[in-house]
Amino acid sequence: MPSIHAYTPDNREGFLQTYRDNPHALLTITPDEARRITDVIINFYRQHLEESGMNGYVVGLSGGIDSATVAHLLVKAVGPERVHGVIMPANHTREADINHAVRVANDLDITTNDQALFRDRVDGIVDDLTELGEPVDDERTQRVKQGNVLARCRMIVLRDSAKARSALVAGTTNASERDLGYMTMAADGLGGVDNEALYNLYKTTEKDLAEYLNVPADIIEKTPTADLWKGQTDADELTFPYEVLDRVLTGVQLQLPDDSIADAVSAVSAEDVKQVRERVEKNRFKQELPPHPEF
């Protein structure tokens, strides 16, 4: 049975039985599948670049698995001389993340920006822009607002670098983040990037692909974070780790009821599944073009 990325309504029954027996099985890929996916993404990057008439790609390097995987795929597709990595730490960014980002760039022999300059300047810029906005009394909402400003500052720098180099901005959003709406509009989400190669791969599946691509193991296994404030982790923001969420999202994709998903994924209740499903529906707009009238 192939992984869930190959699911269609026509082959639903086989997927349903596998899901009931072992939902994780639908999220793993073999080396042969990883090779096929790699080839598809490489061809996608090459074709989009050729059709765009641009010179290459820029990609934000966070030190995490998503950007590392994308960087490896870009280099395979167009060569290191046509890929530029942009490292954008804030003062709260963990040194390990910066070191991992630098390591990816060095391993792939791609150029990078002056990350120390970005780190020195960005917090003050974020503070100034946040003050120009509208403050709220709720501490968490204000923190999220400020995190969104940081995400958009990072995209400003990415797009500026892309303009200077006549390059495309490669997105790093995976299917888990896509479904849950775990991205910032006009930043790493819609309106920020030029393409998304990982958009149909859940985080769990992406780990297998990253291993196939020889992304360093300590990057693959590190705790995921959007790095929008000190101590932030994806699991804290999303309630569950990706290995649990991906199994729930797979059940949602298979159109199973909440209680059936909860039966297959022992770590969650039917109420938990309902909340995940509601989040998916609430954030669906982040995958769509803005509403507009037809004339």
Query: How many other C-beta atoms lie within 10 A of the C-beta of residue 69?
Result: 27
Task: Tell how strand 167-171 and strand 56-61 pair up.
Answer: parallel
- For residue 200, the model assigns a pLDDT of 94
Burial class for 24, CB neighbours closer than 10 Å (0-12, 13-18, 19+): middle
* DSSP line for the chain: ---GGG--GGGHHHHHHHHHH-GGGGG---HHHHHHHHHHHHHHHHHHHHHHT--EEEEEE-SSHHHHHHHHHHHHHH-GGGEEEEE---TTS-HHHHHHHHHHHHHHT-EE--HHHHHHHHHHHHHHHHHHS---S-HHHHHHHHHHHHHHHHHHHHHHHHHHHTEEEEE---HHHHHHT-S-TTTTSTTT-SEESSTT--HHHHHHHHHHTT--HHHHTSPP---SSTT--HHHHHSS-HHHHHHHHHHHHTT--HHHHHHH-TTS-HHHHHHHHHHHHHTGGGGSPPP----
- For residue 8, the model assigns a pLDDT of 85
- For residue 83, the model assigns a pLDDT of 98
- For residue 1, the model assigns a pLDDT of 67
Angle at 2 between CA 277 and CA 203, to 5 degrees: 45
User: Which residues have a Cβ under 8 Å from the Cβ of 255 and sit 6 or more positions away?
Assistant: none
Beta bridge mates, 196? 171
Which CATH class name applies to 4-223?
A: alpha beta
Distance CA 257, CA 172 (A): 30
Distance CA 246, CA 280 (A): 12
Determine the straight-line distance between the first and last CA of the chain, rounded to whole angstroms: 46
Q: What is the pTM of this model?
A: 0.96
Q: pLDDT tens for residues 82-118?
A: 999 999 999 999 999 999 999 999 999 999 999 999 9
Is 155:122 a contact under the CB 8 Å cutoff?
A: no
Flag residues of the chain having pLDDT under 70: 1
Distance CA 91, CA 126 (A): 11
- For residue 14, the model assigns a pLDDT of 86
**Which two tokens mark 43?**
């061809």
Per-domain residue ranges for the chain?
A: 4-223
